[in-house]
Structure 1
Amino acid sequence: MSGAAKSLEERIDRLESLDAIRQLAGKYALSLDMRDMDAHVNLFAPDIRVGRDKVGREHFKAWQDSTLRDQFTGTSHHLGQHIIEFSDVDHATGVVYSKNEHECGPEWVIMQMLYWDDYERIDGTWYFRRRLPCYWYATDLNRPPIGDMKMRWPGREPYWGSFHELFPSWREFWAQRPDKDSLPQVAPPAPLEQFLKTMRRGTPAPKMRVR
């Protein structure tokens, strides 16, 4: 149904859904940084999958609690732009930028990343169905992450993040060098609600990595 043909009720519902989903991202950051694990896990669908074979908020709370106690003294998540697209009235996908700070014992680790999100409305309330973290870098505040292997946590070997993996345009850009003597072709604009899908070039839905 085109935007012009939608009823006033549908348009209001879409605006309210957009706001509720944006609130989810803000509530995620606040509840995580303040270590309110109940508030945090209740932002996710009741049957949230945890790892390969566990389901439910109780398992998610146990995993989050262990991760935060083992790795971080304190954290702060600063949210950036948020793109949201709907597949139907109760399902949406989004991308949220996040600039984070972490106290890790004697080191202060800064991070740039984005979240690839799936949202679902259940009984009138929007929840995270899944959050896939995609990292560009993590490094001590005083050590710029120049070069390869930009994920540099204390006590771990550096490794690649997945910041650019969702979008083929990154590899395409560096794999080709345009002819400066001719104008490049420009693809048509993405259809409504398909900006993210168009940028992903039809690649499969991303999967959570289990480390």
Structure 2
Amino acid sequence: MTDAALLARIDRLESLDQIRQLPAKYALCLDMRDMDAMANLFPEDVRVGKDASGRLAFRAWMDRTLRSPFTGTSHHIGGHVIEFDDADHAHGVVYSKNEHETPVAGGQDEWVIMQMMYVDDYVRAAGPDGPRWYFARRLPLYWYATDLNKPPVGDRKMRWPGTEPAEGNFHKLFPSYAEYWAREGDHGGPVAEPAPLEKFLETMRRGAAAPKVKVRAD
């Protein structure tokens, strides 16, 4: 094997690793309502509808979209198939199983579960610390959405048999969730600089300490 061929194979493996992390990062950004981190998963010229483009427009659109009809979400990433078009372009399909707390006008909120897949296009473009992979496009394809019997709507969602309901710690590690709901709309400032590749989670935490968690054997 030539040096060039070996370098190409290493590059492909590194590309696969970056692309596989994109849907997981997308789900975490969505569930924690970190709109800056979400926008930085797309290239600077990301298209937003027919007439807008750029991360600022994308962030504002996502901010509006996630305020209704959901108050809380949890996205679970499944199998991910990736195929390359060339060294800097790829496409893929990834499964997602989602849960949503959904307000209902004049009645009790519903807990909606959904099965879907995303059909993705990926592109490698310039980043703050060298080329990196981004989503070029995400197409959601839905199979079903329905409310779950006995949904854990409201406060104290940790409801184990024989114990009193308690609050969980799902959002406490990431300040973005509380910040998102504390404001009425997009915060209006420039999109934050993308996190370094190996400091994505650290950047999203923004110095937040880990919450105290009562460990149980599940």
2:155 aligns with: none
Q: Which runs of 4 or more aligned residues in structure 1 lie more than 2 Å from their structure 2 counterparts after TM superposition?
A: 3-6
2:12 aligns with: 14
Distance 1:46 1:134 in 2: 25
Q: Does residue 1:120 correspond to 2:118, yes or no?
A: no
Shift of 1:63: 0.9
The normalised TM-score by structure 2 is 0.62
Q: 2:35 aligns with which of 34, 37, 58?
A: 37
Q: 1:82 aligns with which of 80, 83, 106?
A: 80
Q: 1:101 aligns with which of 99, 102, 108?
A: 99
Change (3 A) 1:5 1:81: farther
Q: Does residue 1:55 correspond to 2:59, yes or no?
A: no
Q: Does residue 1:66 correspond to 2:73, yes or no?
A: no
- Which structure 2 residues correspond to residues 177-196 of structure 1 after superposition, within 5 A? none
Shift of 1:71: 1.4
Distance 1:85 1:75 in 2: 29
Deviations 1:52-77 (Å, cap 9, x if unpaired)?
A: 11111111111110111121110000
Change (3 A) 1:120 1:104: same
Change (3 A) 1:5 1:117: farther
Deviations 1:7-52 (Å, cap 9, x if unpaired)?
A: 1100000000000001111100001100000001100111111111
Task: State the identity as a percent.
Answer: 68
Shift of 1:82: 0.2
1:135 aligns with: 142
Distance 2:4 2:27 in 1: 33
Gaps of 5+ in 2: 104-108, 151-218
Distance 1:139 1:87 in 2: 36
Change (3 A) 1:82 1:5: farther
Q: How many residues are paired up?
A: 141
Shift of 1:4: 10
Distance 1:31 1:102 in 2: 15
Residue type of the alignment partner of 1:108: W
Which secondary structure state, in structure 2, belongs to the residue aligned with residue 8 of structure 1? helix
Q: Does residue 1:111 correspond to 2:114, yes or no?
A: yes
Distance 1:13 1:138 in 2: 39
Shift of 1:118: 0.2
Answer 1 or 2: higher relative contact order, Cα 8 Å, separation at least 6.
2
Gaps of 5+ in 1: 144-211
Distance 1:112 1:6 in 2: 42
Distance 1:45 1:94 in 2: 17
Distance 2:69 2:45 in 1: 26
How much is the aligned-residue C-alpha RMSD, in angstroms? 1.9
